[in-house]
């Protein structure tokens, strides 16, 4: 097993920027959904991100693959990592606060550990991972509320939708490991959002019609943030931080995203979350820290 990379000051700053970008995406969704339907919002985010990434691909002189097999893999990845989770998150935010959405979305890392354990022989659950996963699920249960798990109303269904988006993200991570070996991550990101755009744009036109584009300045600003910044730029920054800090350290971004979304939701939207949401996030954060492993190593006996 490879040793975990250390975090430089530069890596910390770029992780913080990434957390601000992704934390702000929940606020942007909330703003856009006031005027635009779920599928149109998702289509705008993905298609806008695809255009921005293609500008980057051309500027860097990178070559896109022409194999139909690879483009089929791009489509599967785009469905799992873009279309399905973005749609579930957007639909869920019609009924629940952006801050609570971000807390439930933090379960992505926990789902990722479980999916990897099922799919890959070198990612089996250890005792430490099992504890981290259990803490994560306790956090999710507390944040949702035990009563909501026993009834099916718009709020509880919305919360389950966000958990579904986390599972979809986890499946996409496993798919990427299998399908994109040796492919530059920037090329994989551009291919993924391009293929998913070709799917979601017709779906949006079919169910919600041609957009009017007569939106407020706040909606346009939120759309630009979702597509150009939270999709295209965030993917490029994500892979940059991954190269500097390693995948283990990127778990910490998950811990930073939810507080950003909670603060923005409170300041801009006037959201108030129940105490159980914060308590649930505390359990989730503890689970992610256990999965990260460094705190346990520091607390253990030294050689």
pLDDT tens-digit readout, 160-202? 999 999 999 999 989 988 888 888 889 999 999 999 999 999 9
In whole angstroms, what is the distance from residue 253 CA to residue 299 CA? 22
Within a 10 A sphere around the Cβ of 165, how many other Cβ atoms? Answer: 24
Provide the pLDDT confidence category of residue 303 given band limits of 50, 70 and 90: very low
Tell me how far apart the alpha carbons of residues 22 and 33 are, in angstroms, rounded to a whole number: 17
Between CA 100 and CA 163 the distance in angstroms is 11
Q: What is the pLDDT of residue 148?
A: 65
pLDDT value, residue 5: 54
What whole-number distance in Å separates Cα of residue 205 and Cα of residue 18? 31
pLDDT at 224: 97
Please provide the average confidence, as pLDDT, over all residues in the chain: 90
Please report the pLDDT score of residue 152 as a whole number. 72
The residues near 172 (Cβ < 8 Å, ≥ 6 apart) are 77, 80, 81, 85
Alpha carbon distance 181, 191 (integer Å):
14
- Written as six digits, the tokens of 157 are 């269904």
pLDDT digits (tens, 9 = 90+) for 44-101: 999 999 999 999 999 999 999 999 999 999 999 999 999 999 999 999 999 999 999 9
With CA atoms as reference, report the closest residue to 81 among 191, 243, 155: 191
Q: What is the mean pLDDT of residues 108-116?
A: 90
pLDDT > 90: percent of the chain: 69
Rank 48-52, 140-144, 250-254, 288-292 by mean pLDDT and report only the highest. 48-52
pLDDT band at residue 2 using 50, 70 and 90 as cut-offs: very low
Q: Give residue for tokens 């990845």.
A: 77
209-234 pLDDT, tens per residue? 999 899 999 999 999 999 999 999 99
User: Tokens for 241?
Assistant: 């931080």
Q: What is the mean pLDDT of residues 257-266?
A: 95
Name which of 256, 202, 232 is nearest 20 in CA terms: 256
137-147 pLDDT tens trace: 999 999 988 76
CB 87 within 8 A of CB 198: no
Q: What is the pLDDT of residues 121-139, one digit of tens each?
A: 888 888 888 999 999 999 9
């Amino acid at each position: 097993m490879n040793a975990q990379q250390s975090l430089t000051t530069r890596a910390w700053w770029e992780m913080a920027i990434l957390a601000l970008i992704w934390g702000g995406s929940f606020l942007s969704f909330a703003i856009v959904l006031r005027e635009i339907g779920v599928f149109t919002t998702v289509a705008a985010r993905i298609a806008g991100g695809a255009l921005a990434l293609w500008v980057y691909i051309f500027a860097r002189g990178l070559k896109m693959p022409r194999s139909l097999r690879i483009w089929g893999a791009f489509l599967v990845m785009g469905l799992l990592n873009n279309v399905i989770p973005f749609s579930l998150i957007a639909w869920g935010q019609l009924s629940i606060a952006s801050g609570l959405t971000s807390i439930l979305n933090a379960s992505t890392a926990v789902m990722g550990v479980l999916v990897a354990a099922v799919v890959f022989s070198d990612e089996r659950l250890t005792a430490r991972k099992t504890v981290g996963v259990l803490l994560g699920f306790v956090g999710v249960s507390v944040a949702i509320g035990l009563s909501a798990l026993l009834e099916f109303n718009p709020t509880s269904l919305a919360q389950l939708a966000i958990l579904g988006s986390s599972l979809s993200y986890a499946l996409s991570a496993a798919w990427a490991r299998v399908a994109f070996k040796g492919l530059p991550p920037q090329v994989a990101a551009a291919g993924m959002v391009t293929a998913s755009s070709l799917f979601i744009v017709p779906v949006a036109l079919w169910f919600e019609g041609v957009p009017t584009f007569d939106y407020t300045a706040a909606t346009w600003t939120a759309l630009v943030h979702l597509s150009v910044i939270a999709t295209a730029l965030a993917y490029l920054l994500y892979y940059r931080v991954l190269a500097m800090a390693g995948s283990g350290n990127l778990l910490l971004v998950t811990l930073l995203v939810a507080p950003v979304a909670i603060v923005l939701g409170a300041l801009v939207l006037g959201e108030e979350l129940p105490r159980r949401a914060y308590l649930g996030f505390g359990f989730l954060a503890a689970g992610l820290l256990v999965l990260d492993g460094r705190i346990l190593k520091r607390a253990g006996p030294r050689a």
